[in-house]
Amino acid sequence: MNFGGVTENVVTRKEFPLEKALKTLKNETIAVIGYGIQGPGQALNLRDNGFNVIVGQRDNSKSQERALRDGWKTGETLFSIEEACMRGTVILYLLSDAGQIEVWPVLKKHLTKGKTLCFSHGFAVTYSERSGIIPPSDIDVVLVAPKGSGTSLRRMFLENRGLNSSYAIHKNVSGKAFETVVSLGVGVGSGYLFETTFEKEVYSDLTGERGTLMGAIQGIFAAQYQVLRENGHSPSEAFNETVEELTQSLMPLVAENGMDWMYANCSTTAQRGALDWWKKFKDASLPVFKELYEEVKTGREAQLSINSNSAPDYREKLDIELNELRKSEMWQTGEVVRSLRPERENKKIC
């Protein structure tokens, strides 16, 4: 498929429908290991699509409680991590990066010849010298990475839509890894699947998370909000002009038809200003993105994540940092603004 003059390998549900995916994996037991961020969405979508799915989760954890609420049954479809690894023929390894490092010795024992190991992030394999995760040589190793949160994956599935995913093949011992990975991608609810490598997936993913998806956007929000407040604008006005109008009005237009269409459907004053200023923002941020990508590529960013997320007080420190965001004036204002949005008629809550 052609993207702006560049040809890419893309698989859609038109040429690889659900029926074909079910037939491909009809004799497989898909073991979803981990029920935190990605686990619920992928496991539930696979189950609802008709695949044979079990879940492996730590005993007496909040995630295990959630799995029980979602209808997974102890001893039937919900097992300990080790038993699920033993029972599964296709293992979806969906623990956090730090969790994967911790559990790897348990999982590795059950990666016997003929099984398939699937990741949703290229982190562990790309940075194997740091993670210690080196899959056996006699199994298929693949990747299906939905381009969004597990919550979005599930929500879009329930709305009969798909969240795009990348796919990669690291080892193809069986000669059938392509059919397997695409079947998994279709099963978890992908809109379409585009080819990548484990290395490119993690480089782009870490850059995106720290950049426009989360880190950069929060930084830009905070900077503009601060400038408006310092110049006498009210919290409500500053928040609406910084966040609310972007997320509720403009970004949906970009998602539907592209940035040029959104520009064309704004006032001429807005058009002129946006066209005059976007290159200045690009020039200002480009050095930061280049520095960020280099940190990711060298593995230094990965090591920072491993060190931080493996610390015994990780959760406590995380809560402090998230609480700082939550209690900032900007996001306290945002909570009020969201509460004032009019409810849609006949709103369906899944």
CA separation for the pair 75, 77 (Å, rounded): 6
Express each pLDDT in 140-162 by its tens digit.
Answer: 999 999 999 999 999 999 999 99
Q: Give the pLDDT band of residue 3 (cuts 50, 70, 90).
A: confident
Same domain, 132 and 225: no
Mean pLDDT taken over the chain? 94
CA separation for the pair 334, 325 (Å, rounded): 11
- Residue with structure tokens 């976007």? 278
- What CATH number did the domain enclosing 33 receive? 3.40.50.720
Same domain, 165 and 220: no
Same domain, 190 and 250: no
Say yes or no to pLDDT of 347 above 50: no
Mean pLDDT across 172-178: 97
Same domain, 182 and 264: no
Bridge partners, 143 (sequence order): 119, 168
C-alpha triplet 63, 67, 72: angle, nearest 5°: 155
Mean pLDDT across 108-121: 96
Of 52, 95, 56, 50, the C-alpha closest to 75 is 56
What is the number of structural domains in the chain?
Answer: 2
Is residue 110 among the annotated active site residues?
A: no
Residue percentage of the chain with pLDDT more than 70: 98
Q: Give the pLDDT band of residue 2 (cuts 50, 70, 90).
A: confident
Q: Is 348 inside any structural domain?
A: no
Model pLDDT, residue 1: 86
Say yes or no to pLDDT of 348 above 50: no
Same domain, 186 and 38: yes
Most confident listed range (61-65, 232-236, 345-349): 232-236
Express each pLDDT in 40-91 by its tens digit.
Answer: 999 999 999 999 999 999 877 888 889 999 999 999 999 999 999 999 999 9
Q: Which of 196, 221, 237 is the endpoint of a domain? A: 196
Contact 95, 103 (CB under 8 A): yes
**Percent of the chain that is helix, strand, coil (3-state, to 5):** 55, 15, 30
CA separation for the pair 111, 106 (Å, rounded): 10
Model pLDDT, residue 189: 95
CA separation for the pair 40, 44 (Å, rounded): 6
Model pLDDT, residue 344: 56
Same domain, 190 and 219: no
Same domain, 108 and 231: no
Express each pLDDT in 302-344 by its tens digit.
Answer: 999 999 988 999 989 999 999 999 999 999 999 999 999 887 5
pTM: 0.89
Same domain, 26 and 124: yes
Which of 110, 121, 170, 233 does the annotation list as catalytic?
121
Same domain, 12 and 129: yes
Same domain, 215 and 192: no
Contact 153, 135 (CB under 8 A): no
Model pLDDT, residue 350: 33
Q: Is 204 inside any structural domain?
A: no
- Residue with structure tokens 């609406």? 240
Same domain, 6 and 30: yes
| Domain housing 114 | 2-196
Same domain, 269 and 145: no
Q: Is 166 inside any structural domain?
A: yes
Contact 199, 52 (CB under 8 A): no
Of 81, 80, 10, 77, the C-alpha closest to 46 is 77
Model pLDDT, residue 346: 46
Q: Is 347 inside any structural domain?
A: no
Q: Which of 171, 196, 221 is the endpoint of a domain? A: 196
